């Protein structure tokens, strides 16, 4: 019985990449013009730094040294609670400003800002 793979590959001009047959890239991009879209996907950047880690570690070490009695570690607990409440206020303010479109994360423009600029100045189609 003859092998069917070589004639099929010659007719369709697919390229074998590892064990899969895919169309060549120049054919997939040849029909589309190199034009950017008029919008970007909405993604939020997560902060990589966790707030109040130092205060939390001091509180845990105090608990460990005093057999988990909260009465002896009131100073560390109050410092952690104060830091946590300040971090929450800062986060809420930042989220409100980002919702209004005034600031971006880490000095970068947000996706909402970029989409509004792309709406004002769309990519010309011809």
Task: Give the CA diameter of the chain.
Answer: 86
- Lookup result for tokens 């950017």: 36
Specify whether the CB–CB gap between 103 and 97 falls below 8 A: yes
For 21, phi then psi, to 5°, come to -105, 120
- Rounding to the nearest 10 degrees, give the CA dihedral for residues 69, 74, 75, 76: 50
Query: Can you tell me the distance from the alpha carbon of 74 to that of 67, in angstroms, rounded to the nearest whole number?
Result: 14
Query: Can you tell me the distance from the alpha carbon of 102 to that of 111, in angstroms, rounded to the nearest whole number?
Result: 12
pLDDT at position 73 is 93
pLDDT digits (tens, 9 = 90+) for 11-44: 556 666 677 766 665 555 566 677 778 888 887 6
* pLDDT higher than threshold 80 for residue 47: no
* Burial class for 33, CB neighbours closer than 10 Å (0-12, 13-18, 19+): exposed
pLDDT digits (tens, 9 = 90+) for 69-124: 989 999 999 999 999 999 999 989 888 887 776 665 566 777 878 888 889 988 88
Q: Which of the pair, 12 or 59, is modelled with greater confidence?
A: 59
The answer, as to whether pTM is greater than 0.85, is: no
């Amino acid at each position: 019985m003859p092998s069917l793979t070589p004639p099929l590959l010659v007719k369709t001009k697919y390229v074998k990449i590892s064990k899969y047959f895919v169309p060549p890239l120049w054919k997939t991009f040849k029909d589309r013009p190199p034009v950017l879209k008029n919008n970007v996907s909405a993604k939020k950047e997560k902060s990589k730094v966790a707030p109040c880690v130092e205060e939390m570690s001091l509180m845990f070490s105090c608990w460990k040294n005093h057999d988990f009695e909260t009465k002896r570690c009131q100073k560390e607990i109050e410092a952690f609670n104060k830091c946590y409440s300040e971090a929450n206020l800062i986060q809420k303010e930042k989220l409100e400003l980002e919702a209004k479109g005034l600031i971006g994360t880490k000095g970068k423009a947000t996706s909402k800002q970029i989409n509004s600029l792309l709406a004002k100045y769309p990519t010309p189609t011809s």
